[in-house]
Amino acid sequence: MEGRPADDSDLISRAQRGETAAYEEIVQRYQQVAFRTAYVITGTAADAEDAAQEGFVKAYRALDRFRPGAEWRPWLLRIVANEARNRARSSGRRHHLELRLIEGFRPGDAAQSPEAVAIASDERRRLIALLNAMVDEDRLVIASRYFLELSGEETAAALGIPEGTVKSRLSRALARLRAQVEEAPLA
Amino acid sequence: MPDLEDQLTALAGAIEWPTTPRLRVSLPARRGGLGWGRPLAYAAAAVVLIVAVLLAYTPTRDAIAAWVNLHVTINRVQQVPTPSPRPSAALGERLGLGTPTTLNQAQARLAWQVGVPSMLGGPDEVYLQQPPTGPSGGEVTLVYAQRTDIPVSGLTGVSVLVTEARGRVDEIFFQKTVGSEATVEQVTVGGHPAYWISGHPHDFAFVDANGNVHGESLRLATNTLIFDHNGTIVRIEGDMTRAQALQIANSI
């Protein structure tokens, strides 16, 4: 995503040379997106934390295979997401990611685009309800792209599908959501 | 009305996510960036396996390992059990240290060399645990009842406990479960990574070669330095400072 600090490659190079402090900096920098990505997949905070932690450990062990100049975030998220999927599979639980809104959220609470102001509280609730009623495949791809704010490459890594499939799946999911919205228009 | 995609973009800031835990990962030094040696790779693979085993035995865990190395996993939890009052039984019995013995007798029954910290002098008591209650390679505990400058711990009733267990690098792994008030620092003993856990009592458990979990069910551990001494995992426990613990460790 845009806005990522420019010195990731420096940190990674230092970590590859054995500087654990550099890797700890990487962990701090990416722990939120790693945890949330795992949460989208596992549906529980505990499993997501486990998956994120193990993902970082595995990524560290595989640092020698990280290609200089490559994008770090999709590489990391692919590992974390694999951990999350394995954990979700082994738990035997079929989770359903339930998207929720922050209680009492006001657009001014966070840096928002002008569009945020345009969406009233009841409209947000209605949209979330429609999203939660969608099939998992649709909800996950929308959550990854719009709420986790992952790139196409990162979404592909997180969902374990080709990037081209992300585009087609997202397109279909948006079309279905748009149809739902138009069927019962937001206020 | 904004376009649907704009609405979704705007909605991102309103989504409630679970609080992101603070994942702190400290790993063994890489070997000059040349990759993992074969034995190390085996050990690392075993860590993942053992971590998974440990997780199954940690029902109260709210946060996963904060520190992971070849021997030690440390789980950060919200609460550790409340220390129970010390019963009046013999020290070895109430602390679950095993059978009382002497240093020479313990050494004769173990296939590995017991390390004795010269700084503390000879131990006041020695205990030995062997299978089935102890780990496959046996575990010895040296008890130092009272030592100058190290107060008697309210948790153990003695100044210092030095516990040693032997295992191949892929055989025995230790787990610490620490509360949010405990601090874990990576230090160095004899040029090898070591961990200093202080500030709050913590649980201790380990997994042996057969996958059996051995827990210190009778007590919580106080300040602890854990390190690898030539293949022996050594724990030095007591109400001591980090500097004191390191001095003791370096005198083995």
Please state whether B92 falls in left (phi above 0), alpha (psi between -120 and 50) or beta.
Answer: alpha
Distance from CA of A6 to the nearest CA of B (A): 22
Q: State both tokens at A177.
A: 């959501």
Q: Which of A163-172, B33-42, B242-251 has the lowest mean pLDDT?
A: B33-42
Q: State both tokens at B91.
A: 């020290």
Residue appearing with tokens 């010195």: A7
Cβ atoms of B173 and B50 within 8 Å: the answer is yes
Tens of pLDDT along B164-221?
A: 886 543 334 455 555 556 677 778 888 777 778 776 665 555 554 444 555 543 455 6
Tens of pLDDT along A61-103?
A: 888 888 877 889 999 999 999 888 888 877 666 667 788 887 7
Instruction: Test B21 with A127 for CB contact under 8 angstroms.
Output: no
- Give the domain extent around A130: 113-183
Residues of A in contact with B38 (CB under 8 A): none
Last residue of a domain, one of A30, A59, A91: A91
3-state secondary structure of B205: strand
Instruction: Test A146 with B8 for CB contact under 8 angstroms.
Output: yes
Nearest to A177 among B4, B18, B20 (CB): B4
The answer on A121 and A79 residing in a single domain is no
Count of structural domains, chain A: 2
Q: What is the ipTM of this complex?
A: 0.81
Last residue of a domain, one of A56, A91, A126: A91
- We report the CATH number of the domain holding residue A121 as 1.10.10.10
Residue A17 lies in a domain: yes
Q: Is the pLDDT of residue B82 over 60?
A: no
Q: Which of A173-187, B141-155, B160-174 has the lowest mean pLDDT?
A: B160-174
Q: Which has more confidence, B76 or B189?
A: B189
The answer to whether A97 contacts chain B (CB < 8 Å) is: no
Instruction: Test A18 with B9 for CB contact under 8 angstroms.
Output: no
The answer on A128 and A69 residing in a single domain is no
Tens of pLDDT along A18-35?
A: 888 888 889 988 999 999
Residue B32 lies in a domain: no
Residue A122 lies in a domain: yes
Task: End-to-end CA distance of chain A: give it in Å, rounded.
Answer: 32
Residue B229 lies in a domain: yes
Instruction: Test B23 with A105 for CB contact under 8 angstroms.
Output: no
Residue B240 lies in a domain: yes
Question: Is pTM beyond 0.80 here?
Answer: no
- Give the domain extent around B136: 37-77+93-250
Count of structural domains, chain B: 1
The answer on A122 and A87 residing in a single domain is no
Judging by beta carbons within 10 Å of its beta carbon (0-12, 13-18, 19+), is residue B216 exposed, middle or buried?
middle
Residue B8 lies in a domain: no
Nearest to B21 among A15, A49, A61 (CB): A49
Tens of pLDDT along B17-39?
A: 888 888 766 565 444 332 333 33
The answer to whether B13 contacts chain A (CB < 8 Å) is: yes
What is the β-pairing status of strands B65-68 and B160-166?
Answer: unpaired
Residues of B in contact with A100 (CB under 8 A): 15-16
Residue A87 lies in a domain: yes
- A40: closest CA among A29, A30, A51? A51
The answer to whether B16 contacts chain A (CB < 8 Å) is: yes
Residue B1 lies in a domain: no
The answer on A83 and A17 residing in a single domain is yes
The residue of A54, A87, A91, A178 whose CB has the most chain B CBs within 10 angstroms, and thus the best one to mutate to test that interface, is A54
Cβ atoms of B79 and B202 within 8 Å: the answer is no
List, as one string, the DSSP characters of B160-189.
Answer: EEEEEEE--TTT-EEEEEE-TT-EEEEEEE
Backbone angles phi, psi at A83, to 5 degrees: -60, -45
